[in-house]
Structure 1
Amino acid sequence: MSKRVRSREVCADCSAPEPRWASVNRGVLICDECCSIHRGLGRHSSQVRHLTHSTWPPSQLQMVQTLYGNGANSIWEHSLLDPSSSVSGKRKANPQDRVHPNKTEFIKAKYQMLAYVHRMPCREDDSVTAKDLSKQLHSSVRTGNLETCLRLLSLGAQANFFHPEKGNTPLHIAAKAGQMLQAELLAVYGADPGALDSSGKTPIDYARQAGHQELAERLVEIQYELTDRLTFYLCGRRPDHRNGQHFIIPQMADSSLDLSEFAKAAKKKLQSLSNHQFEELAMDVYDEVDRRETDAVWLATQNHSTLVTDTTVVPFLPVNPEYSSTRNQGRQKLARFSAHEFATLVIDILTDAKRRQWGNSCDSPKGVKLYFLFLSYQSQENDQPDYDSVASDEDPVQEATCGDKSSDLSDGPITVQEFMEVKSALTASEAKIQQLLKVNCHLSEELRLMQTKLNSLQTENTTLRWQTPSGQQQPQGPFGRHPPRGGRAISMYETGSTPRQYPHRVETARHDDGVVLQPFPTNVSTEAPMLLLSIVQNNDAWLGAGVVRCLFLCICRSPLPASEAVETEEEGEEDATLPCTEDVICKTEQITKNIQELLRAAQETKHESFLPCSEKICMAVTEMAALFPKRPSSETVRGSLCLLTSSASRLHGECQKAAEHNPCPSDIQLVTQQVIQCAYDIAKAAKQLVTVTTKENNN
């Protein structure tokens, strides 16, 4: 199914054109900037997915697009459509508004506080109102009017409402009527495909009896959505439910080594959880998988879109006010798991889910709080929390009997002391966030100034690039591109007021694919990569990765000067053909992703990771260079390929230095500087190849 975004679509929150993200449970499309705020709200407020880079069930994507096209956004902005709202000072955000605080405040009011939703008249018994709404929902799902059902759900109708007279739920009715999109909407709001009616039949049975086989198969997929998502996260495969395969349990390659007493004790605690506690843990791990996958998509999709300087950092799962403080703490601790630790936890959950599904559950006399289960999987050496405190770590441990309803940790009474502790912690967190936002704005301003300086230096470079040692400007070659024999072009990296002269002869190396490689001078000034290095060394847990990425993208947008092109001496017929733009962009994204991994390793001072990262980059560079002809007729393409391959070669050499020796801090600082310089050169060359290919293919 095509996921192409139509140009007429605009962001539901600020009206920016061509939104690339969707909020599944709100039925709206949103732009990158607004998505950066939605990601910080938590899945309980907004479930975001990228329209083209995330994995979508086709019917769910159709449901979101149908809701958006039928004006679902008016549900969330009902009072703003009232002419009197302009008089009261209420207004919708626009694309020119700042992300913080303008768009942030509007989006939080719209989706968290539901400030603009139409309110039902106040009644003494709210439960009666909810029951009436749920009965209306029960009747509405038999039709295709999605926005009506979404409005009822937004007002408090229950997706799992059991109709006392009809003896079934809204999902039973939607399944019997063959309403696929209604079933998708109800499932997003928590409807259970395995719910039983008064005769013991499920919505899946209703769909099959009515001849809606495709809907029945989709409801089976929804029933196993949690375990399917965890499996897909680990191994990229999904069970074949049509043929009765409902679980795939991935295996760790080194699972035989993970037999420590510590790991065994953690698995025993997992198995001793009651079904209710296990469901809570599984849902929290599902949310963490969604956060990690959305993070990966977010980083990947920022490569070729408008730079978002005020990117919201989501370092861990946001607080859900409906959960207990202990559960929120445990959810945040999931972000501290390494990839190996988290994969082990996911595999254990899948294994235990399969065991419980088959009815072989272990009724242990005592359960454990999720907080201590998380600590069991946590590395013992890491005792310092890197998350916002949402409650006191000194919460008393409450024993819960397996199977007892009183074991619901989120429904216990709250004392005044606990309330004050939570309030104090939240106040401290808000103060920290405001401080970090100020720092982020300051750094964003510095980045803009740096971009201006780079543009100025580039203009100056164009004027001075062919100066002779005496300072007199010489005429350019017949096409304005080649330097005279006695001089060399000034690199855009040079920030001094006078140009440096390089030797007239430069040793060249011939690459296997026929491209002549000319080493880049190593004594040039590298002000932009040095700023990257300073931010990496600052190692700020909140802003480091985001700012490095922002700066990296900002620098990559500076065009490659024509003076960087290196003329090859290759004899033979030149080839004017260029590869497909999509192929070049795909390889560029792969290179950029590997460079991001390298920069993260530099930020975290994991120098042992330099060499593996460089090998991935070199492999990606080789694959990208192979897309182009061996003797391109375009001088810009030749120069960019030369810079791309030579920089990759230098990067690998610098990373080998970090791996083969144990240098002192000053030496490793120099190596890190050179590594970042090489990464900068690779990104710049890749960007130029994308630009040239796109321009030529569009002509």
Structure 2
Amino acid sequence: MDTSGVVLSPTAHSSSVEIVQCADCSADDPQWASINRGVLICSDCCSVHRNLGRQYSQVRSLNRGMWDTPQLELVKLLHKTGSNRVWEHAMLDPASSSKFKRKPLPHDPVLPTKEAFIKAKYVDHAFIRKPSKDDEPWSLDDVNKQLWSCVRTAHVDTTLRLLAMGADVHYVDPEKGNSPLHVAAKEGQAMQVELLYIYGADPLLCNAADLTPAQLARQDGFVDLANRLDELSFDLTNRLSLFLCGRKPDHQHQQHFLIPELTAKNTVETLRSVRLKIQALPDCAFEKLLQDVYDEVDRRETQAAWMAMNQGKITSGNEQCVAVFLPLNPAFSATRNQLRQKLAKYDVREFATLIIDVLKVRSTGMMFFIHVPPIFSFLTTD
């Protein structure tokens, strides 16, 4: 069993993260983090982040979320190094023409005030650094090369800024075929590895010498980092097992999948047609299904933390602003969005059965890497 790398708050919150103010409205004592943005946010602003979807903001409770220790350390570090300045650069520039001259205040309404600001900040990237008329023009290739160089260092704040500017985590140098993840792994930069992975870097990508980032890290003596990269290769299925079992597989002892059994025959019968379709799916369609099941797991865990944190409290009404199913993703078709939202209708046992089925299929020979960010579609059946 592998639980050493998982931290359940409040330990994570009270001892690991120095709380100051919400990154979006300056409310005191924010209880949530946006992992991919590297910021801490209050419950009001979190309600907006949740409705944006994981493609824009990956939220987790500081008090009640299950955290991988390196990921929590990354959020701490980004917060400490001023990650919010990346997303609000133009607001700090007196010469900026931004229509938002100030951030929302803690007691401003969620709708429309906080929602409009948060969408401008994270969806439209309205405030990130852009070249001015006095700057030398830069190309995407320039930004990619800067990223490739930066990940050799510990400056994750600079890496975050480059990613916000559009740097590609899949960029490889033409000579050795090393991606930024290869470079960070070879240099032992654990926090850079975490950030690159969150932004879509593939831990199973091989360079020109047919070596993965984990193999490069192990060659250079960074054994713990190599083990973490091996774990990230199974991050999606690990999260599904953690949701069902409360623990993850022990990859260091070659246990890569942890799959419980359900005995309720009525549940099996209820999902028989879906199970048969899952077993017959080609790899690309199964990849889409697994992505969406992961998103629904994340939504349910976040909702459980949300309800527990707000139980018995007088709230501002933000709980009424949060969708009870996966939010629409404008990059997906209407059919795909509808099918994703149907996952919320599965009861606890039905959803557990579905997860077990996809874990079983994933464990039987489908060895391609499936990344966590939701970029693929759900099972294309009604």
Q: Same fold (TM over 0.5)?
A: yes
Structure 2: how far apart are the matches of 1:257 and 1:310? 37
1:272 aligns with 280
1:36 aligns with 47
The one-letter amino acid paired with 1:138 is W
The one-letter amino acid paired with 1:34 is C
Question: What is the deviation of 1:129?
Answer: 2.8
1:109 aligns with 120
Query: What does 1:479-558 correspond to in 2, within 5 Å?
Result: none
For residue 328 of structure 2, the aligned residue among 309, 319, 335 is 319
Question: What is the deviation of 1:324?
Answer: 2.5
Are 2:13 and 1:4 aligned? yes
Change in CA separation of 1:324 and 1:131 when aligned onto 2, cut-off 3 Å: farther
Structure 2: how far apart are the matches of 1:344 and 1:92? 45
- What is the aligned residue count? 359
SS at match of 2:257: coil
Query: What does 1:87-98 correspond to in 2, within 5 Å?
Result: 90-98=101-109
2:354 aligns with 345
Matched-pair contact (CA < 8 Å) for 1:327–1:371: yes
Question: What is the deviation of 1:371?
Answer: 3.2
Matched-pair contact (CA < 8 Å) for 2:74–2:195: yes
Query: What does 1:283-362 correspond to in 2, within 5 Å?
Result: 283-303=291-311, 307-311=315-319, 312-357=321-366
Matched-pair contact (CA < 8 Å) for 2:292–2:378: no
Larger Rg: 1 or 2?
1
Structure 1: how far apart are the matches of 2:282 and 2:115? 39
Give aligned-pair identity as a percent: 47
Matched-pair contact (CA < 8 Å) for 1:72–1:147: yes
Question: What is the deviation of 1:266?
Answer: 2.5
Are 2:159 and 1:149 aligned? yes
Deviations 1:381-406 (A, max 9, x none): xxxxxxxxxxxxxxxxxxxxxxxxxx
1:209 aligns with 219
The one-letter amino acid paired with 1:316 is F
Change in CA separation of 1:284 and 1:63 when aligned onto 2, cut-off 3 Å: same
Structure number with greater CO (CA < 8 Å, separation at least 6) is 2
SS at match of 2:40: strand
Question: What is the deviation of 1:106?
Answer: 0.6
SS at match of 1:56: strand
Question: What is the deviation of 1:139?
Answer: 1.0
1:580 aligns with none
Question: What is the deviation of 1:217?
Answer: 1.2
Query: What does 1:192-591 correspond to in 2, within 5 Å?
Result: 192-254=202-264, 256=265, 260=269, 263-303=271-311, 307-311=315-319, 312-357=321-366, 370-372=379-381, 375=382
Structure 2: how far apart are the matches of 1:158 and 1:89? 29
Q: Over aligned residue pairs, what C-alpha RMSD do you find?
A: 2.4
Matched-pair contact (CA < 8 Å) for 1:100–1:310: no
SS at match of 1:307: coil
Change in CA separation of 1:121 and 1:224 when aligned onto 2, cut-off 3 Å: farther
| Runs of 4 or more consecutive aligned structure 1 residues displaced over 6 Å after TM superposition | none
Matched-pair contact (CA < 8 Å) for 2:296–2:343: yes
2:3 aligns with none
Change in CA separation of 1:16 and 1:154 when aligned onto 2, cut-off 3 Å: same
Unpaired segments ≥5 residues, structure 1:
360-367, 376-699
Structure 2: how far apart are the matches of 1:113 and 1:87? 12
Change in CA separation of 1:28 and 1:304 when aligned onto 2, cut-off 3 Å: farther
Deviations 1:239-258 (A, max 9, x none): 0111000001111132x555
Question: What is the deviation of 1:144?
Answer: 0.2
Structure 2: how far apart are the matches of 1:257 and 1:32? 39
1:136 aligns with 146
The one-letter amino acid paired with 2:299 is R
SS at match of 1:29: strand
Structure 1: how far apart are the matches of 2:98 and 2:210? 55
Structure 2: how far apart are the matches of 1:193 and 1:102? 40
Question: What is the deviation of 1:320?
Answer: 1.5
The one-letter amino acid paired with 2:179 is T
Structure 2: how far apart are the matches of 1:108 and 1:88? 13
Unpaired segments ≥5 residues, structure 2:
1-6, 369-376
SS at match of 1:164: coil
> Normalising by structure 1, what TM-score?
0.49
Structure 2: how far apart are the matches of 1:129 and 1:48? 31
For residue 24 of structure 1, the aligned residue among 11, 35, 44 is 35
